[in-house]
């Protein structure tokens, strides 16, 4: 998570207020409006319920205190203003303390369609609605606790679990059509349409398989792992995740299903 970025986080004033320009608010409004139309029929019920609970403004970047008021009341979580990129240690520590890191900058217009770094739109619009859901909140808390005590090598495997759940997770079962709960998808109009297009491979959730699946952060995902419903995240939390990491190490990684990144 620690690497160079062109973006700088906005610092709050003494009252916790973060000032944004008119153009930055306009970028939020454009991102919000164009993604909102993609959600019906594609986003999970838990996410849509979270959107309603948060009541985010559509025409301006919300203040973190507005988000915190809802999260604290529903699941005991809050946000934490952070730089554009933070260390794994800081990331895990925040989650373990029920604080969700939010980079307080918003992308520029040149990066409107894709931004590798997580900005405030990705963090707040993509992730915070699910943090009003008890199962998702418990899973995120447990993940932070596991990461704090994990070795550097084990954290690489934990990162794959986070990637295929919190970032790019989907819900699907015999009773329900494919729906999205991963924030990395829900903050991206292109990936939201792509994941429900029938083009990518949707695999049934398997903890060890996820730990063995390589991924690239700069492409549309060729593989997604589906849980039956959001409550299934509680079941994952009851499994010995560190034992799954040990099994994944012994079995080795799957062959990548995407081309190597060109230099």
Select which of 123, 167, 172, 191 is catalytic. 167
25 in catalytic set: no
128 vs 99: CA distance, rounded Å: 11
Catalytic position from the list 44, 122, 135, 140: 122
First and final C-alpha spacing in the chain? 20
Out of 93, 117, 123, 127, pick the active-site residue. Answer: 127
Contact 20, 102 (CB under 8 A): no
Out of 135, 172, 187, 188, the active site residue is 187
Quick check: is 141 catalytic?
Answer: no
Cβ 85 vs Cβ 3: under 8 Å:
yes
Q: Is 122 one of the catalytic residues?
A: yes
Round to whole Å and give the CA distance between 109 and 125.
18
Q: How far apart are CA 103 and CA 188, in angstroms?
A: 17
- Residue 167 bears catalytic tag: yes
Rounded to an integer, what distance in angstroms lies between the CA atom of residue 224 and that of residue 95?
A: 24
CB atoms within 10 A of CB 198: 8
Q: Which of 73, 54, 76 is nearest to 64 (CA)?
A: 54
Active-site residue list: 122, 127, 167, 187
């Amino acid at each position: 998570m620690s690497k160079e970025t062109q973006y700088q986080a906005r610092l709050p004033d003494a009252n916790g207020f973060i000032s944004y320009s008119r153009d930055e608010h306009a970028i939020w409004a454009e991102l919000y409006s164009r993604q909102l139309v993609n959600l019906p029929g594609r986003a999970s019920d838990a996410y849509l319920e979270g959107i309603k609970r948060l009541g985010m403004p559509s025409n301006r970047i919300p203040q973190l205190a507005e988000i915190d008021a809802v999260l604290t009341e529903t699941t005991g979580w809050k946000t934490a203003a952070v730089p554009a990129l933070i260390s794994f240690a800081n990331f895990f520590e925040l989650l373990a303390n029920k604080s969700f890191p939010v980079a307080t900058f918003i992308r520029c217009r040149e990066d409107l369609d894709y931004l590798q770094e997580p900005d405030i739109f990705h963090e707040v619009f993509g992730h915070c609605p699910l943090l009003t859901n008890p199962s998702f909140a418990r899973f995120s808390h447990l993940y932070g606790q596991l990461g704090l005590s994990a070795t550097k090598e084990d954290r690489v495997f934990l990162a794959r679990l986070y990637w295929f759940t919190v970032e790019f997770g989907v819900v699907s079962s015999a009773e329900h059509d494919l729906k999205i709960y991963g924030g990395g998808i829900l903050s991206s109009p292109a990936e939201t349409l792509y994941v429900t297009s029938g083009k990518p491979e949707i695999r049934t959730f398997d903890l060890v398989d996820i730990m063995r699946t390589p991924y690239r952060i700069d492409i549309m995902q060729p593989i997604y792992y589906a849980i039956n419903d959001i409550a299934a995240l509680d079941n994952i939390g009851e499994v010995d995740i560190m034992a799954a990491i040990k099994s994944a190490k012994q079995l080795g990684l799957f062959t990548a299903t995407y081309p190597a990144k060109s230099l």
